[in-house]
Chains A and B, each alone.
Chain A
């Protein structure tokens, strides 16, 4: 079953748990992600954040822009941190606290994958939000496992050998489905109602929940800061970043109403500006293949069972 993105009712809570004063770059997609996540979660929330842009965005000690308790944790440890928080809070009768890990793609797809996988496998009642800006941005735009094929980063510089990233994106949400995590979804900041609705669905599940939010980064993707929402939307329309929801074994894919060629998405960001026609074609066929696989997956799956 597909859901038309345009038919979403306006559903974003008014409550603000993020105060002004963030130190993020202008147009930071990751900041929008946190804002919507907190709106959807509400005040009874503890957030754990590893080394990443988000360890810096809320400000230096003693200032802090978030109105929820924030547990900073080492880079590799988000999954373990939320495991400890959840179990210790439950023991004290605080089952009503939302325990949320909020980690970057590097902290999730690379150094934190073991800790994430362990936490999901143990089945704690936690949310793990991966804000995906497709690179190690806090340390100056290096390649991560989640960086897409074709992108130039500071550790995959073009150079004389056209040394852009040659491997496709490792999609952690797909790994989480393979691990049969009860709730897995992808989302992005251009579709905030969809994001908030997904967190609402996730909240009804007592168990581990994983949501990967594409969070465009003007600084690392080399586009102008006012284009963040546009780039986010192009990623979905071009099928570069498909939006889906997987609930207890049932998979559904959001079909963007006006699909576009990947070329249009790539052209919006300078990290892909070196790509020639053949390389763009290669990306297009990779994206088409993955889209077909996802559609097949949806056909093979039963009806969704949100609560």
Chain B
């Protein structure tokens, strides 16, 4: 469970929290394009730059593709760079996401999770970021405004680690976090500066040492080796994540315990895996059911990339059944987390796995829905189930 020594000193929305996180990280370059519900992040940052509270260049580009292209270029000069987007904006960036990762640039981006049309829908689901899981970006789902702020600070430190050098996207749910105020502890700038040193990009652009950034490779050139190196770095990121979250806990007194969070898992017989704010609702239900004597627990995935396979294997040992909740769908197969968890547990002894598709397009996932999931796990065959949808059997 996450240990927090809470010292709230402000009340703010998730979007304000990430904007303040970016400011505390002393980002030097910001480029973004507006989309609901990300807009208040970039408005806030534009205001900070305009008021000289933040010594940074802000470039108001004409598309998300350009935002990420400008960020790639600026990061190559050695300037710590930042952007934020959501939903269709993130999909529009897709090509650039591969480029930034392939150029090995430790950019951090905030994504407000929002559904993809049609039909148009501005509410929360994870289809946008699940579609980016293969781009070489680290991905972190946050549960609170505090975590959203802190993850920007930890994010840069993890991404800029020399063993990692990969970009990182941090997620918050549309409206539930982005536009909802919560108490937040804003760290002192001095503490952040001690925790997060300036970016020192060893391969930055220099006319005295001209290099090519990108270029092209034949099949027998370094292409495959470079991809393997990205894959190795993604694996090495696990260690860096643990190291950085421990350092953060030591200096900021908030411990995010690595890649995932276990909640009441000690003697659990049934558990649900969830991420984002749905995990908070799930925790509430687990607590209530525990009070009635049910041995239930919850695992909250923070990092989806790198995927916490080993942690999930350890946390789920001895369970009678495991439910995996997904706020996105890979049509023709199943929920994305369900697939990843299934592959993580393959060959580990048989844990029945239930895939639950819930909360698409911001559809509410209520207490009864969680209770329903636990009931399904006790009474029905393992498989894929839709929750709170009209027309399901």
Q: Are B74 and A85 in contact (CB under 8 A)?
A: yes
B76 at interface by CB-CB < 8 Å? yes
A55 at interface by CB-CB < 8 Å? yes
* Interface hit among A60-68, A156-164, A232-240: A60-68
Q: In whole angstroms, what is the CA distance A66 to B211 when docked?
A: 9
- Partner of A76 from the list B65, B70, B77, B214 (CB cut-off 8 Å) is B65
Query: What residues of A have a CB within 8 angstroms of the CB of B66 in the complex?
Result: 77, 79-80, 83, 114-115, 118
Q: Are A45 and B207 in contact (CB under 8 A)?
A: yes
Q: Are B59 and A73 in contact (CB under 8 A)?
A: no
Query: What residues of A have a CB within 8 angstroms of the CB of B205 in the complex?
Result: 46, 69, 71, 85, 89
* Interface hit among A90-98, A145-153, A182-190: A90-98
A154 at interface by CB-CB < 8 Å? no
Query: What residues of A have a CB within 8 angstroms of the CB of B79 in the complex?
Result: 88, 91-92
Q: Are B216 and A74 in contact (CB under 8 A)?
A: no
B380 to chain A, nearest CB (A): 47
Q: In whole angstroms, what is the CA distance A220 to B45 when docked?
A: 48
A142 at interface by CB-CB < 8 Å? no
Q: Are A69 and B73 in contact (CB under 8 A)?
A: no
A44 at interface by CB-CB < 8 Å? yes
B221 at interface by CB-CB < 8 Å? yes
**Known A-B contacts A71-B205, A84-B69; A114 and B63 likewise in contact (beta carbons under 8 Å):** yes
Which one of A43, A58, A59, A71 has the greatest number of beta carbons of chain B within 10 Å?
Answer: A71
Q: In whole angstroms, what is the CA distance A64 to B217 when docked?
A: 12
A287 to chain B, nearest CB (A): 33
Closest residue of chain A to B60, judged by CB? A122
Q: Are B213 and A69 in contact (CB under 8 A)?
A: yes
Q: Are B217 and A61 in contact (CB under 8 A)?
A: yes
Q: Are B207 and A69 in contact (CB under 8 A)?
A: yes
**Which residues of B66-82 are within 8 A (CB) of A?**
66-67, 69-79, 81
B29 at interface by CB-CB < 8 Å? yes
Query: What residues of A have a CB within 8 angstroms of the CB of B71 in the complex?
Result: 84
Query: What residues of B have a CB within 8 angstroms of the CB of A44 in the complex?
Result: 207
A253 at interface by CB-CB < 8 Å? no
**Which residues of A25-54 are within 8 A (CB) of B?**
43-46, 48
B332 at interface by CB-CB < 8 Å? no
Query: What residues of B have a CB within 8 angstroms of the CB of A62 in the complex?
Result: 215, 221-222
Query: What residues of A have a CB within 8 angstroms of the CB of B76 in the complex?
Result: 71, 85
**Which residues of B211-239 are within 8 A (CB) of A?**
211-218, 221-223
Q: Are A84 and B60 in contact (CB under 8 A)?
A: no
A67 to chain B, nearest CB (A): 6
Q: Are B214 and A83 in contact (CB under 8 A)?
A: no
Q: In whole angstroms, what is the CA distance A118 to B213 when docked?
A: 23
B371 at interface by CB-CB < 8 Å? no
Query: What residues of B have a CB within 8 angstroms of the CB of A121 in the complex?
Result: 62
Q: In whole angstroms, what is the CA distance A56 to B211 when docked?
A: 15
Q: Are B207 and A87 in contact (CB under 8 A)?
A: no
Q: Are A72 and B215 in contact (CB under 8 A)?
A: yes
A15 to chain B, nearest CB (A): 13
Closest residue of chain B to A77, judged by CB? B69
Q: Are A70 and B78 in contact (CB under 8 A)?
A: no
Q: In whole angstroms, what is the CA distance A70 to B207 when docked?
A: 10
Closest 9 CB pairs of A and B: A72-B214, A84-B73, A84-B70, A80-B66, A118-B62, A88-B74, A77-B69, A80-B69, A87-B57
Partner-B contacts on A (CB < 8 A)? 43-46, 48, 55-56, 58-62, 64, 66-74, 76-77, 79-85, 87-92, 94, 97, 114-115, 117-118, 121-122
Q: List 15 A-B contacts (CB under 8 A).
A: A55-B215, A55-B216, A61-B215, A62-B215, A66-B212, A68-B210, A69-B205, A69-B212, A80-B69, A80-B70, A84-B31, A84-B70, A84-B71, A89-B205, A91-B79
Known: A80-B69, A114-B66. 13 other contacts (CB 8 A): A43-B207, A61-B221, A61-B222, A61-B223, A70-B211, A70-B213, A81-B73, A84-B70, A91-B29, A97-B207, A115-B69, A118-B61, A122-B60
